[in-house]
Amino acid sequence: MRTMFSFFYLILGSKGRRTAVYVVSFLVGVGIASSFKIDQGVILIFLFVSLMAISVLKKSSDRFLLMCVIAAICGFLRVSVIDTHEVTKGQQKIETEITDEVEYRSRSQRVIVEVDNQKTLVWMKRYPTVEVGDRIRFTCNLEKPQPFDGFAYDKYLQSRNITQQCARPENVAVIARGKSSFKKTLFTLKTKFSETITKLFPEPHASFLAGILYGERAGIPEQYKEQFAVTGTSHILAISGYNITILTIALLSLLTSLLIPRKKAVWAVIIGIILFVIFVGSGASVIRAAIMGMVPLFARMIGRLTSPVFVLIHVAGLMVLHSPLILIFDPGFQLSFVATLGLIILTPKLLHKAQWLPDNILDLRETAIATLAAIIFTLPLIIFHFGQLSLTALPVNLLVIPFMPIVMATGFIALIAGIIHPTFGIIAATIPYLILSYILFVIEMFSRIPFGSIQIEFGLGLMVLSYVAIVYFMYFRKNKKSKNQKNEIKIEDITWTIHEK
- DSSP SS3 for 102: coil
Measured between alpha carbons, how far is 443 from 227 in angstroms, rounded to an integer?
7
Question: What per-residue confidence (pLDDT) applies to 360?
Answer: 56
* Residues 208 and 225: beta-carbon distance below 8 Å: no
| Residues in Cβ contact with 255 at an 8 Å cutoff, skipping those fewer than 6 apart | 265, 268, 269
3-class state of residue 132 by DSSP? coil
At 341, give phi and psi (nearest 5°): -60, -45
Question: Strands of 135-141's sheet, edge to edge?
Answer: 91-97, 135-141, 170-176
Q: Which residues contact 350 (CB under 8 A, 6 or more apart)?
A: 369, 372, 373
Q: Count the alpha carbons within 13 Å of 363 in the hemisphere toward its beta carbon.
A: 18
**Which has the closest alpha carbon to 252: 263, 241, 261, 265?**
265
Q: Where are the alpha helices (DSSP H) in 201-325?
A: 205-214, 222-230, 241-257, 262-280, 284-302, 306-322
pLDDT for residue 73:
92
pLDDT at 453: 82
Separation CA 400–CA 60 (nearest Å): 52
CA distances (Å), origin 326, targets 244, 254, 300 = 18, 33, 28
d(CA 293, CA 303): 16
Q: At what angle do helices 284-302 and 241-257 cross, to 10 degrees?
A: 40
Instruction: Return the pLDDT at 441.
Output: 94
Look at residue 302 in the predicted model and tell me its pLDDT: 56
pLDDT of the chain along its 501 residues, tens only?
Answer: 444 444 444 444 444 577 888 999 999 999 998 888 888 888 888 888 888 888 787 787 888 888 889 999 999 999 888 766 677 777 788 888 888 777 777 788 888 888 877 888 888 888 888 888 888 888 988 888 888 777 778 888 887 888 888 888 888 888 888 776 777 777 777 778 888 998 999 988 988 888 888 777 667 778 888 888 888 888 777 666 666 766 677 677 777 777 778 778 888 888 877 777 776 665 667 777 777 777 766 655 655 544 677 888 888 898 899 889 888 888 888 888 888 888 888 877 777 776 666 655 445 667 777 778 888 888 888 888 878 888 888 888 888 887 887 888 888 889 889 989 989 999 999 999 999 999 999 999 999 988 888 888 777 788 888 888 887 777 665 555 554 444 433 433 333 333 343
The three-class DSSP label of residue 178 is coil
- What is the pLDDT, as a whole number, of residue 26? 93
Amino acid symbol at 495 = T
Closest by CA position to 281, among listed 409, 145, 172, 133: 133
The pLDDT value recorded for residue 477 is 58
How distant is the alpha carbon of residue 118 from its chain centre?
25
Query: What b/e sequence results for 93-119 when a residue is b if at least 16 CB atoms lie within 10 Å of its CB, and e otherwise?
Result: ebebebebbbebeeeebebbbebeebb
What CATH number is given for 91-176 in this structure?
2.40.50
